[in-house]
A and B are shown apart, each in its own frame.
Chain A
Amino acid sequence: MALCEGLRGCEQECPLAVCGESMRVLTCLVHEHDWWIVLLAVVMCGAGSVVAITLFKRTLAEHGLSRLLWCFLSGVTAGSATWATHFIAMLGYRSGVPVTFDGPLTMISAFIAVTGIGLGLLVATSPTRSVSTVLGGGGIGLAIAAMHYVGMFAYRADGIVSWRPGYVVGSLLVAAGCSALLIENLRRNRRREDKAVPALLLGFAIVGLHFTGMAAFSVTPIPGVSVAGDSESFVTVALAIALIALLILGMGICTYLVESRTRRHSREQLQRIAMRDALTNLANRHRFSEALQDECARLARGRPFALLMLDLDRFKPINDTLGHPGGDAVLRKVADRLRRAVREGDLVARIGGDEFAIIAFGISEPALAGQLAGRIVEILARPFVVDGNVAELGGSVGVALAPIHGTETEVLVQNADVALYAAKRAGKERYCLFESEMMDAMQRRRHLEVELRRACMREDFEVHYQPVVDAHTGTVTGAEALLRWNCPDRGDISPAEFIPIAEDLGLVSRIGAGVLRKACAEAAAWNEPLDIAVNVSPVQLLDPRLPQVVAQALSDSGLPAERLELEITETALFGDDEAALRTLNQLRDIGVRISLDDFGTGHSSLSYLHRFPISRIKIDQSFVRRLPEDPGSASIVRAIAQLGESLDLRITAEGIETSEQLSFVASHGCDHVQGFLISRAVKASDFAELLRSGVSIAA
């Protein structure tokens, strides 16, 4: 120190000129300032830098109007803190001469700090790196410098003031340089937590600027003028300034914190809304997919779970009768019941109109999963009361277990769906656990659906003919036309399997029309005027075009109507029997006959025989099979035959396989018989051959 004390006012040749400048600054700092006030200024600078950097970071992340608002906030807060630091430090400067502060200039310097930093920050938000760092950062630094020097002009010292330009330039470089680096750092590092380096840079800019600037300044007392200190009042003012500046800092940081919290709350609320089904407040499809994904990821750590896919049965009629508000009320109650049926922590989601999904955590036993599914089915079967109306729903559930039935989301969902499908096909209002055979069955069905459609387009079906003979004479009186389908890669498919599929696909009418055409044409070509019987499914009977189709087939083939007999089952009459009656009457008017097939097996209502234009009853083979030993079957067959006789109906017995059966039915009033004993169903050509050779099958 002794070495350099002489440097004041004497910055000429000195062996220590290199470190001369820094020593000058240090000396200035140490000797020419009031320590306590300097400390206060340092605290101000520190707090100010930290808050300023927090706000700067936030500002740089904003766009549009928000950006301007944040620039204002940052400018006011940082500017106030910077100005306060400067002013407090000035108050602590022992110049050794009487000092007054020029009011207006002091205020202008504060204004420069605020606006300069605000505008500099605005420029710093530019996406271009050079503009942002150099112009923006540099601008902030120069604003701080401008504030300092205007503040210095406001510092009226009664003495001879002298300036060292070198230090002035140095101070500008320090300020601008540090600020530019600071902006560069903020741009590169967006993390909220990394505030240390930029805060230090800002602090250094302010402090460095201040003391280098002060080193540029010196005032020598005028001899004779009193050296008044006025310390106490300065301390009071410094404290007052500090207090106000700290309050401004406080406001600045509070605004930031309030805004942070609000944003977080909004984001959480939005998340909640985005993840919830609005009507039932269950998880929605989005959340369900996410949760399923998470659970599949956890499987590797040994956390099994069960996936249940649930479909409401009979919900659509309720929407129709109660309207949408009623339907909504029911859905809300369904959601509540599901919540109660599952265990604490299980996820219930609504993924469709009346579709739900449940993830049951920690379940690996099929039995447990079945129990849960059973509880759900049961609780949904209980009645619902909505606005004084009673609604009876029901639910079908498909269950897949992870990891047994799959470890990926798509596989699990698919398997649970297959199980659900099986539950629906098995009659609804039940649950089904996935089995790999179900997948095979479903794939087979899908395949058959595709092939059936194609076969329908190409009319790729065959009609076989099973001879019908007179029960007493054994002569062939006609044939029943039976549909056969050979699937290219699966072989012969039994009608019991493909007819229901055809019904579901809506292809039955078309296929049936084809069968009628073929059968009529074939029968017309026989050398004898025998009867031909064609099966008509319940779906066909409900089609109002049926009489027209029949008439067309007859006229195209030239077959007389009396030779055609249409066989319908009792289920066809069970449903919409007004329409069925109309159609049957129309058919009778054309001249074709109607027979009731599989008699005795369905809802055998004797009123059908009375109301509908039936001319023949075909006794189902289940009764014939146990003849003649089983007395029950014998009585039934006898009874049906007598019924037929008294109502003037003809009787056919189906499924004759033994000669005993044949003799029994023949002696108990059956007119015609059909069965393997007589002949299987054969191809058209074989049947024609059979007729040509004039074979009659003896009783």
Chain B
Amino acid sequence: MLLHRLLYFSRCTLASQGAQRRAEIRALAEEAAARNARRQLTGVLAAVGDSFVQALEGPAEAIEATFERICCDFRHSDMKLVDLTPVRERAFPGSGLTLLDAGEAGDLREDLEELRFLIGVNAREALDMMQRLAERASAAPA
């Protein structure tokens, strides 16, 4: 199966703040996870401050269609597509979409801030970081 992996970041335009915004993002991620699962897509969505960083992998047509859907969403803007490559195996074999957010305890915050910095500088490193964080997140109890 021809797999593609896509990596982009964007700016969140949700009007809400704090806990309400976190709740909205969580709902967004759940919806996306369900849709992704139906189309054999997997990935990670990191929400840090006003930024989103997302990695998606799966069949080429599904990636194309889903990215177009993402680009038609007005809940974020200023998308910068960092990487789009064919890959042999999945870097994020987990669920349809793993959400990485700072959480109420704010424990992931430092790592996510670093990710936000990395994504604009070195895609490879950012991807590795996302992989690590995703593994940790799926290993941790829900």
Smallest CB–CB gap between A346 and chain B, Å? 15
Q: What is the chain B residue whose CB lies nearest that of A389?
A: B84
Counting chain B CB atoms within 10 Å of each CB, the highest count among A375, A379, A385, A388 belongs to A385
A385 contacts across to B, CB distance below 8 A: 6, 63-64, 67-68, 81, 84
A-facing residues in B18-76 (Cβ within 8 Å): 60, 63-64, 67-68, 71-72, 74
A626 within 8 Å of B (CB atoms): no
B4 on the interface (CB 8 Å rule)? yes
Beta-carbon contact of B84 and A390 below 8 Å: yes
Number of A-B contacts (CB under 8 A): 40
B77 within 8 A of A: yes
Q: Determine which of B6, B64, B80 lies in contact with A387 in the assembled complex, contact meaning CB atoms within 8 Å.
A: B64
* Stretch of A121-129, A213-221, A332-340 that contacts chain B: A332-340
A296 to chain B, nearest CB (A): 31
Q: Is the CB of A383 within 8 A of B79?
A: yes
Please name all residues of chain A whose beta carbon is closer than 8 Å to the beta carbon of B81 when the two chains form the complex: 383, 385, 390
Residue B93 interfacial (CB < 8 Å): no
Instruction: Give the shortest distance, in Å, between B66 (CB) and chain A (any CB).
Output: 10
Residues of chain A with a CB closer than 8 A to B86's CB: 388
Question: How many A residues touch B, CB cutoff 8 Å?
Answer: 15
**Which residues does A use to contact B, with CB under 8 Å?**
333, 336-337, 340, 375, 378-379, 382-388, 390
Q: Which residues from B are CB-within-8-Å of A384?
A: 68, 71
Decide if A383 touches B74 in the complex (CB within 8 Å).
no
Q: Can you list 9 contacts pairing A with B, beta carbon distance less than 8 Å?
A: A336-B72, A378-B78, A382-B71, A383-B8, A383-B71, A383-B79, A384-B71, A387-B60, A387-B64
| Chain B residues in 8 Å Cβ range of A375 | 74
Candidates B60, B71, B79, B80; contact of A388 at CB < 8 Å: B60
Query: In the complex, which residue of chain B has the Cβ closest to the Cβ of A386?
Result: B64
In the bound complex, how far is the Cα of B60 from the Cα of A387, in angstroms? 8
Interface string of B76-96 (1 = CB under 8 A from A): 011111001010000000000
A390 — which chain B residues lie within 8 A by C-beta?
A: 81, 84
Question: Which residues does B use to contact A, with CB under 8 Å?
Answer: 4, 6, 8, 60, 63-64, 67-68, 71-72, 74, 77-81, 84, 86
CB closest chain-A residue, reference B85: A388
Question: Whose C-beta in chain A lies nearest to the C-beta of B68?
Answer: A333
Bound complex: CA of A46 vs CA of B134, how far in Å?
83
CA distance A379 to B81 in the complex (A): 14
Counting chain A CB atoms within 10 Å of each CB, the highest count among B8, B64, B80, B86 belongs to B64
| Docked pose: A402 CA to B90 CA in angstroms | 54
Q: How far is the CA of A375 from the CA of B71 in the complex (A)?
A: 12
Instruction: Give A332 Cβ to nearest chain B Cβ, in Å.
Output: 10
Report how far A383 CA is from B77 CA in the complex, Å: 11
Residues of A within 8 A of B80 (CB): 383
Q: Which residues of A sit under 8 angstroms from B77, Cβ to Cβ?
A: 378, 382
Inter-chain CA distance A386–B60, complex, in Å, is 10
> What chain A residues lie within 8 Å of B71 (beta carbons)?
337, 379, 382-384
Bound state CA distance, A333 and B84, in angstroms? Answer: 18
How many angstroms between the C-alpha atoms of A388 and B87 in the bound complex?
12
The smallest beta-carbon distance between A683 and chain B, in angstroms, is 54
Determine if B4 and A388 form an interchain contact, defined as CB atoms under 8 angstroms apart: yes
How distant is the Cα of A388 from the Cα of B65 in the complex, in angstroms? 11
Q: Chain A nearest CB: distance from B34 CB in Å?
A: 21
* Closest A residue by C-beta to B70: A382
Q: Which residues from A are CB-within-8-Å of B84?
A: 385, 388, 390
Decide: B60 and A379 in contact? CB cutoff 8 A: no
A375→B73 CA distance, assembly (Å): 11
Residues of B within 8 A of A383 (CB): 8, 67, 71, 79-81
Instruction: Name the contact of A340 in the complex, choosing from B4, B72, B79 (C-beta under 8 A).
Output: B72
In angstroms, Cα B60 to Cα A337, docked, is 20
Which residues from B are CB-within-8-Å of A340?
72
Enumerate chain A residues within 8 angstroms of B78, measured Cβ to Cβ.
378
CB A469 to nearest CB in B, in angstroms, measures: 51
Residues of chain A lying within 8 A (CB to CB) of residue B74 = 375, 379
The 10 closest A-B CB pairs, nearest first, are A382-B71, A383-B81, A382-B79, A340-B72, A385-B64, A385-B67, A337-B72, A378-B77, A390-B84, A333-B68
- Complex CA–CA separation, A390 to B86 (angstroms): 13
- How far is A378 from B11 in the complex, measured between Cα atoms in Å? 12
From known contacts A388-B84, A388-B86, infer whether A379 and B72 are also in contact, taking CB-CB under 8 Å. yes
Distance of B83 from chain A, by nearest CB (Å): 10
Q: Which residues of A contact B60 (CB under 8 A)?
A: 387-388
Rounded to whole angstroms, the CA-CA distance of A390 and B81 in the bound complex is 9
User: In this complex, what residue of B is CB-closest to A333?
Assistant: B68
Chain A residues whose C-beta falls within 8 Å of the C-beta of B64 in the assembled complex: 385-388
Give the chain B neighbours of A386 by CB distance below 8 A: 64
Instruction: Give A390 to B68 CA distance when docked, in angstroms.
Output: 11
* Residue of A337, A340, A383, A384 with most chain B CB atoms under a 10 A cut-off: A383
Q: Shortest Cβ distance from A210 into chain B, in angstroms?
A: 74
Please report the C-alpha to C-alpha distance between residue A333 and residue B70 in the assembled complex, in whole angstroms: 12
Q: How far is the CB of B123 from chain A (nearest CB, A)?
A: 14
Q: How far is the CB of B71 from chain A (nearest CB, A)?
A: 4
Closest beta carbon of chain B to A322's beta carbon, Å: 13
Query: Smallest CB–CB gap between B3 and chain A, Å?
Result: 11
Contacts of A382 in B (CB 8 A): 71, 77, 79
- Bound together, the chains give a CA A382 to CA B74 distance in angstroms of 11
Query: Is B68 in contact with A336, judged by CB distance below 8 angstroms?
Result: yes
Report B39 CB to chain A, min CB distance, Å.
15
Distance between Cα atoms of A178 and B72 in the complex (Å): 70
Additional pairs, 13, CB under 8 Å, beyond known A375-B74, A384-B71, A385-B64: A337-B72, A340-B72, A378-B78, A379-B72, A379-B74, A382-B79, A383-B67, A383-B79, A383-B80, A385-B67, A387-B60, A388-B4, A390-B81
